[in-house]
Each structure stands twice: as C-alpha cells, then as structure tokens.
Structure 1
Amino acid sequence: MLLPLSDVAFSTLARLGHVAEVALSGMDRPRIGNDLFGAFGRDFATADGRRVMLVGLTARQWAAIVEALGAAGAIAALEARTGAALARDEGARFVHREAISTILAPLVARLDLATLGARLDEAGATWSAYRSVAQALAEEPGLSTANPVFEEVAHPSGARHLTPGSAASYRGEARAPVPAAPRLGEHTEEVLAGVLGLPAAEIGRLRDAGLVAGA
C-alpha cells in the first residue's frame, strides 16, 4: 500500500469542500476566524476571562444554545426582522452569524466558565472551553492518568512525566505498559543488524572504530 502524506493532505482538503468551492466560484474562501463554516459556531469570552466555543450545527445543538443562554426572545426578534428560520436552517445561522453573536456575546460574558458550562451541559449543548496546555493538564481528565492512554513514566533524562502509549484500545486486550523514551544508542545494534543486515563482526568493527555506539 502506498499512502503519500501529500495525498492525505490533498484528499482531506477536497473532502472538506475547499477544492470544489474554489473550482466553481473561482475565489478562495474568505477567512472567518474561529467561526464554523456553513452553520453557527464561534468562541466567546466568559466573565472570568476564559473562552468557550459554542457550536450550533444541528437544530438540536442550536436549540440547546438558545435555551442555555435564555436567548429565545432575542433570537425570535432577529428571525422576525430578517425572515430567517434559524431553528431549522443552519445556512441561515451562518449568514446571520454576526447578528447572532451580538446577541450571545453579552449573555456569555456575564457568566463565569463553571456556571456557563453547567447551563450548557444541562441543556445538552455542544461546547468546549479553550485551554492552554497548562490549563488542560490541570483541568482535563483525558490528559491525565485517569485516561488509560497515559502513564507517569520515568525517562532516561531522570525526569518523570505524563507519557502517552497507543491511542488505540482493543476490546478484550490489556494495554501494554507505556515505554520510556529510548536511551541514545539503545537500538543501534538492532537497526544495524535488522534493517541493514550487518553481521555481528561488522557491527563490532564499527564500534571499535568509534563510528557507532550503543546505549
């Protein structure tokens, strides 16, 4: 099987619609920041200085955002003013995203992240907080030993830190222990013998000449 990374990139770009869009319109897609193309999705600032991403791609997701933020009246007024059917037309949500964001931004800004998150979860909304790596390490269970992908591992450097194993888990099979980083030269002989097919005598000669070294 051949799988060039360039072909992975090109096919992904095409399957996301970018290639067809430019081929048919003759124009590049404009930059829209963090907005979700084709529906509603945008990041907002909370009262405690955090940022959250809200996504209203499906009708259910959209209804949950409106419910959680108590925005039904303002959204209904926007629909009456524009003739848009925001509840059932995701494209209309994209077209009117600036007006929608003008309504939602102050509603989000008056709540801290914990309060906002509780309301969004209760309504069944699709959302997530933006986090730095430091914030994720402090807050995200998926980036901790609570996730079986990760273990605290001691490395040859002397440092001990969170280290991932395979991202794949197989039903009915125990996960292998997460290995430490290899020591410099740890696999020299293995590579020379297994990949290059060098005999032990030749590897010994290279060692004696100082051209290669083991761990």
Structure 2
Amino acid sequence: MDITLLEEKLSEYGDPEPDAITFLKEHITERTVEPNQIILREETPNRRVYFIKEGIAYAEISNEQTERVKWLATTGHFFTDCSSFESLGNSEITIIAGVRSNIQSLGISAFNHLLEFPRMRHIIRKIQKHYHAENAAMLDRFRQMKPLEILRELWESQPDAIRYLKRKTLAAYLGVSRNTLTKLLKQLYQR
C-alpha cells in the first residue's frame, strides 16, 4: 500500500522508526468513499484514526433545529473523533466525505501498538498537540471574524473546501444561510 503522503506528513514532526513505518504499511487500510458517504456516524463508537490521502471530510453536529459543521479536513490531514476514540464512548459527531475521497485509517489496537515505538509515539503526541492548538487558535480567530474574513482565510488554507464542498455544507461551517454564502462568494471572487 502506498503511504508516501502519510510518511511525508509524519516526517514533518520527526523521524519515525523504520519498523514503525513497516508496521503502518502492514496494518493501515485504505478505502474510497463517495461524496456524502458517512465515515463515522453519531452515536456509534469511534475505533479508528484517519488520514486523507486525497479528498475532503467534515464533522457535523446535529440537533433538532440545525446542523453545524465543526471542522473540515482536506488532503494530507489527519482526523478522528478524539473524545470517542480515547474514551471508547459513542461519537457526538458524524464525519462525512465532502467529495470522493481516498481515506487511510488505522484501528485502535494497531494505533496503540504504534505508540510502543518511542519516536513514533513522540511524533503522534506532537501531531495531537499541533492539531489541538491549531483548532483552538482557529476557533478564537473565527469568533472575532466576520464570515467573509473566515471565507478568505479558508480560501488561503483549504481552497478545495470552497471549490468542491456542497454550498449547504460550507454555509453550515460558516454559520450563515446559503443566500448569504452566495453573496459572500461573489465578494470573495471579485477581489
């Protein structure tokens, strides 16, 4: 199985043991998911960590009135429902493929075995800290920004999300109506 992109991403955080890479190649699975296909369903336990080899995934939180997109992940990003993965409880989010995507994943027992490699464990911890800090900083920034500013930042960091996601999903991520999103996109494309 080709895990070249995954190896490159891991190497950004450190130098993994060759045996850890061999273990990954032997235990990681890959599948293609179609647009709108559910990767993880709310109220089910999450037992996998994921890496997007190509595509887009997003996490959706639903209540009786609305659906809200919590986060987006594009090619080269890791994702999971951390709280469900760590607690072994049910997920509070639904993770959905935004476009046709190639997703690699590792089950919880293989992930735990991967932590037995000291350098790989250090890399995984660095990745977790990075994603946690990045998400917290992004949420703080987004609270102080207008939707058009958020859309511009998204255009800079994850342009495929704007190009390929359904407008309904993108509007839910920004917390605006589809009509407002249409106006914002016109403003974005005019600059």
- TM-score category of the 2 structures, normalised to the smaller one: under 0.3
Q: Which has the larger radius of gyration?
A: 1
TM-score (norm 2): 0.27
* Larger RCO of the pair (alpha carbons < 8 Å, separation 6+): 2
Which has more strand, going by share of residues? Answer: 2
